[in-house]
Chain A
Amino acid sequence: MAIPISYNFRNLWTRRLTTVLTLSGMALVVFVFASILMLAEGLRKTLVETGSHDNVVFLRKGAATEVVSGVSRDQASILETLPEIASNPKGQKLLAKEAVVLIALPKKRSGTPSNVVLRGIGENSLFLRPQVKLVEGRLPRVGSPEVIVGISIAKRFVGIGMDETLCCAMRDWRVVGIFDAGSTGFSSEIWGDVDQFMQAFRRPGYSSVIFRLRDSSEFQNVKSRVENDPRLTLVAKRETKYYAEQSEIMAKFLRILGTSLTIIFSLGAVIGAMITMYSAVANRIAEIGTLRALGFKRRDILTAFLAESLFLGFLGGLVGLFFASFMQLITISTMNFQTFAELAFSFTLTFEIIYKGMFFSLIMGFVGGLLPALRASRMIIVDALRAA
């Protein structure tokens, strides 16, 4: 027969201060662990959702991002003749030639400048990005110095609110609308007419060309045709892949940082749990002796103490995850190392992170409780009873 679980609960309750201290140590570790995973997940989700699977992006060979890429006008025209491009009901090809530049804008909170993506869009750019929705104002007119601003940065930067003018490249750009692209990277961009941008920023060519595939399975055809064409020094990528690649370095950085931090922290918490459990055992030597004399087996004692420590871990995990779930309300805006541009993303909690956090916390409880529980179970009845 096993020792009743209520015995363990009562024991934890009797040593409230110790229990709370151990628990809060574990909860903090789980909190940090979950938060960093949530951050990496948020970044990944933002960039993965930015692309659409059926869109193909063309960049210059060797260029990892649109900012350093260049597609000349004649190369763009060659791409326009590809047969695999989908067309809209009017019969126009769903292809957009875009120019992307970075401009430095001061942040509202700190006043320090940060790089923002300025994307020159064509007529079809909005069709190709169905996530983008105008929430205020109107779209920029073709051929005029008007821009629309993504909702994530409209609030964070100086001078790009509705009806304000943005000054750069010797032109005044009027903000005529605010758009929301959900939790995608586009929400951190400014969009305007591509020909206006190219003229103002003196760009002889586009940065990238993007089109929708007529049939998603034709991607390989397009890729091999374009990459083998000696006139085109371009590479083709699915839009989803292009954006996923942009999250790689930073997500890896966050993951390495998170894992190494958590391992170090958890050592601290395991030691805390171990101290607590050792003292729980030491204080109850007589009790353990009595239990053994009553007929409980060594195995039962081991299970009871392990259960107590696991329960401690479980509570710690619960508390840590509870507080970590509030982190979802926070959005972080920082520079993505790879694109060199501002990107807003929020902490995202997934079931996987919950499992991982919980599993981790239980492991901490288990490791912390194992040695003390072994000690308790190995006691010799007579010695234990005499200790009282």
Chain B
Amino acid sequence: MFFLKILIRNAFRNRLRTSLTILGMTIAILAFGLLRTFIAAWYAGVEASSATRLVTRNAVSIIFPLPISYREKIRQINGVKMVSHGTWFGGVYIDEKNFFPNFAVEPKTYLELYPEFGLSPNEKEAFLKDRKGFVAGRKLINRYGWKIGDIVTLKGSIFFGNWDFVLRGIYRGRDENTDETQFFFHWDYLNEGLKKRGHVWGDQVGFYMVGVTQPELATDVSLAIDHQFKNSLAETLTETEKAFQQGFIAMSGAIVTAIQIVSFVVIIIIMAVVANTMAMTTRERIGEYAILKTLGFRGLHIVGLIFGESLVITMMGCLLGIALTFPAAKIISAELGTYFPVFNVERETLFLNLGATGIVAFIAAIVPTRRAIQIRIADGLRRIG
């Protein structure tokens, strides 16, 4: 306790400098925490996906369809509990800036396969009964202020024309990382419209979602599905939902890596600032260290003093930074909800913050400490300012 008191007193001897350093540290920790959260938000889709669900799509690439006739064939495979299908609709609401994911799905099986989309029984029934009906997440509804029964028109970017939908339900995420900005409607409605126009995607689906009876069977089932359609006009590629989501992120991997690098750069910058402060502090107190040595204190005591002071300063900044991270994340989440449906500060980020703080404190103190303990008593006493 006494030691801590000395450290804090020492740290605040030059109030202006210490406050500035703490402020810098706060900003750095804030930036670091937000960048980490940003990366986590990028991976939110992967985190939220389940291990008991598989996604089957065309092996050539995601833009090619699979025939609806595959549905029954997949259902016959051992280990398959349920099959649902869907198509990425890619509709635009009024303007391209209003982006949100919208899918055409087979509603009954889809809602069973994705229990994390919580709908009240009444809403569920209303949605299943209305072929033009759609269901959207809570956050999306709040963004546009839609009410049950409202007609919403999407302009097709992949499937030409204007498509009308009626809001029949609002889903709430079961877990914290469930995406609450999705929009889904009846695949039959889309299919009917496409067939009327003689579109090639008539009776074709974008992907199948397959529920397996046990997670351990996932690999066997995915191999069996792909084997079933080998050498056909539309070969399939089946992977777990996690791998499927990860594939999307891997494609923009260069950007994630860049952000990761940048999040470490901010720590290096603050390291320079803290090291600077510590260098000044020890330069001013060389005389004191010489006196301490004269009194019989060892080099180790001085090491403790300098490292402790460095740690006190950085830790204060760190705690302030962490405290500010939460409100900042809330603001960003409100502003950038379109791009990042899930933006939560993870516990791991906080540990990383603390770890980074420790490292900054340690490295910043190394050079000044070396100077302080190497100086000889006589030299130290002789030196002024």
Give the interface of A toward B (CB within 8 A). 17-18, 21-22, 24-25, 28-29, 32, 39, 60-64, 67-68, 101-104, 110, 112-115, 168-170, 201-204, 233, 257, 261, 264-265, 267-269, 271-272, 274-276, 278-279, 283, 332-335, 337, 340, 342
Contact = CB atoms under 8 A, between A and B. Distances in A.
Interface size class of B (residues with CB under 8 A): 35 or more
A271 to B, nearest CB: 4
A112 B247 contact: yes
Nearest to B231: A170
Contacts of A67: 63
B181 interface: no
Contacts of B231: 170
Query: Which label, helix, strand, loop or mixed, suits the secondary structure of the B interface?
Result: helix
B371 to A, nearest CB: 9
B1 interface: no
B272 A24 contact: yes
B23 A28 contact: no
A61 B160 contact: yes
Interface string B332-352: 000000000000000000000
Which 9 pairs, one residue from A and one from B, show the smallest C-beta to C-beta distance?
A335-B251, A334-B254, A272-B273, A271-B24, A25-B272, A112-B250, A21-B276, A104-B61, A264-B31
A63 B157 contact: yes
B233 interface: yes
Contact of B24 (A62, A102, A268): A268
Nearest to A272: B273
A24 B88 CA distance: 49
A25 B269 contact: yes
Given A22-B272, A102-B63, A334-B255, 18 more contacts: A18-B280, A25-B269, A25-B272, A28-B269, A32-B262, A62-B160, A101-B60, A104-B59, A110-B253, A112-B247, A112-B253, A201-B64, A261-B35, A268-B24, A268-B28, A268-B269, A340-B62, A340-B63
A286 B252 CA distance: 58
A28 B261 CA distance: 12
B43 to A, nearest CB: 14
Contacts of B259: 257
Contacts of B272: 21-22, 24-25, 28, 272
B157 A278 contact: no
B251 to A, nearest CB: 4
Contact of A18 (B27, B64, B279): B279
B63 A101 contact: yes
Contacts of B27: 264, 267-268, 271
B300 interface: no
B276 A22 contact: yes
Given A21-B279, A64-B96, A337-B252, A271 B160 contact: no
Given A101-B61, A264-B31, A279-B17, A271 B252 contact: no
17 contacts: A21-B272, A25-B273, A60-B160, A62-B92, A62-B160, A68-B157, A102-B61, A110-B253, A170-B233, A202-B200, A264-B31, A278-B16, A278-B20, A283-B385, A334-B254, A335-B251, A340-B62
A101 B254 CA distance: 23
B359 interface: no
Contacts of B158: 63, 68
B269 A29 contact: yes
Contacts of B265: 28, 32, 265
A18 B251 contact: no
A367 to B, nearest CB: 13
B251 A264 contact: no
B90 A18 contact: no
Given A21-B272, A21-B276, A334 B252 contact: yes
A168 B60 contact: yes
Interface string B37-69: 000000000000000000000011111100000
A345 to B, nearest CB: 10
B21 interface: yes
Contacts of A201: 60, 64
B156 interface: yes
B224 interface: no
Which residue of A21, A32, A233, A265 has the most chain B CB atoms within 10 A of its CB atom? A21
B247 A204 contact: no
B338 to A, nearest CB: 11
Given A22-B272, A32-B262, A62 B156 contact: yes
B111 interface: no
B361 interface: no
A17 B279 contact: yes
B194 to A, nearest CB: 12
Contacts of B385: 283
B64 A62 contact: no
Contact of B155 (A39, A62, A276, A342): A62
Contacts of A233: 160
B268 interface: yes
